[in-house]
Structure 1
Amino acid sequence: MRMKEDPMKNGQLKPAYNIQFGVDSEYIVWVSSGHQPTDTTTLIPFLKSIEDYTKLKYPKIVADSGYESEENYTFLECNNQLSFIKPANYEISRTRKYKNDIRRIDNMDYDEKNDYYICKNSKKLFANKIINRKSKTGYKSEITCYACEECRDCQYKSGCIKRSNSKIPLENRTKNLQVSKLFHKKRKENLKRIISPEGCELRMNRSIQAEGAFAQVKQNMKFRRFLSRGKENVLSECVIVAIAHNISRLHNKIVKKNVENIFII
């Protein structure tokens, strides 16, 4: 969850903080604060800080779609942790519009042995080059580029090739794809887990526990704005709020001391 003050006041940009709560059995067990604009880059340092300070490693990590990335998938696998991360396209991929969109790689057949995709017009898209990308965190990913063998006079071109500001007329353009094979592999493996009975239960628990913790803090405790500035000061405020939240939950949990080996963020 990102908690922040009004970013603009009197024409001046004010500081904003991305606050992360880790929840276990309805208790807030770890807190972090940072200036990251998105949640994607917060997962790895959050988990590392837990291990560094507590020597505790949760074998299963349950998170919302905002945390999905190839880097996070790779880190969790190398760290011997199972990801239960909701894919960023999970909701939209279930719609009829998405399933009928011929532009999307998910709606194309793929020949894994010969490494090519087949478009709506039964034409093959072959790999023609590989490029390397480096993220802001320094993570390097390998992108495979595919190009259609023949797009001329294709009746599906207007629906297949994404419209852009390209100066090349649509009739002269060719269908191209850029694919991270590793990311697609990890996403498919993760998807199988989250739609399994165990995955459905974990995601339901996450929505109740993680979102419930933030609802308790923001709605019931009326904590909607930080009283201090600076990363360390804000973190101290969050720790105090987390302690207050946990105390308020303690009387309901005093006779239920079963803590599962599941970490929710």
Structure 2
Amino acid sequence: MNLSLSLPRNALSIAELDELDHDGVVRFVRALERSGHRMVWIPEVNGREAFTTAALVLGATERMIVGNGVARALERVPKSAASAAQDLAAGYPGRYVLGLGVSGAARERGTGPLPFLRDYLDGVDAVIRRRGGPEVPRVLGAYSAGITRLAAERADGLLTFLVTPEHTRWARETIGPDLFLSVVQWAVVGRDRASARDVARRRLAYYLTLPHQLAKLTRLGFTDADLAPPGSDRLVDALVACGTPDQVREALRQQYDAGATQVAVSLVGPLDEAKLDAYRALGEQEN
């Protein structure tokens, strides 16, 4: 692989879609596009299916670039992922990026995450070769050294999530100077630090139950005390930018300085008018 990805320097990661119905998704992503946002990553967490949701967002917008960030490889066979991704890339030229990831749950199938994902990519490639058609740009979601190196070997980029600039610096050193690297950065806009911590902890609670997230954060130097629910102030402050839109942008600059090609902001908290205002303010800074 290693296509040269030319994607916007700024993006969003929109977890809100899990809480919205079909019409709500359409209204939300159209509002983001009107605000000036040019790219969104769609995480696959507890609600929507990755590829049908990508198709919905692509169809609802005119120019928005959409990435699966990331689709869970354990939830579908390579043929399903490859065929869906190739159809999206053909139907929306230049507007779709396939993101794939795997967790330690792969061990329940008798193999580790790294060999599982390597074999999975073999299956994806075989389907694409057999079908012909457009190349599908792809990134891998990764934190471990093995899968991070696999991204440099078998993908066009790397997508990381819930990491500090120190991890971004390590990832850049691991994948080399040229590979695309997007970092999903949590942020709370328009609240003071104490209030921002409360909002962030409600979302963080789920991730503090996941072994692969805990292992990643431990490697980054956080202690058992930091990771004990609901998460220490030190943990939350390191992972979540907060303040005015300008203050959030300043925090994002640390990820760029550490080697990120792109930073994808994920605004934490309920999708209310204040949050929509924050999206609009961040979009205005794109223009």
- Which bin holds the TM-score, normalised by the shorter protein? 0.3 to 0.5
Q: TM-score, normalised on structure 1?
A: 0.33
Q: Which has the higher strand share?
A: 1
Rg larger in 1 or in 2? 1
- Normalised by the length of structure 2, the TM-score is 0.31
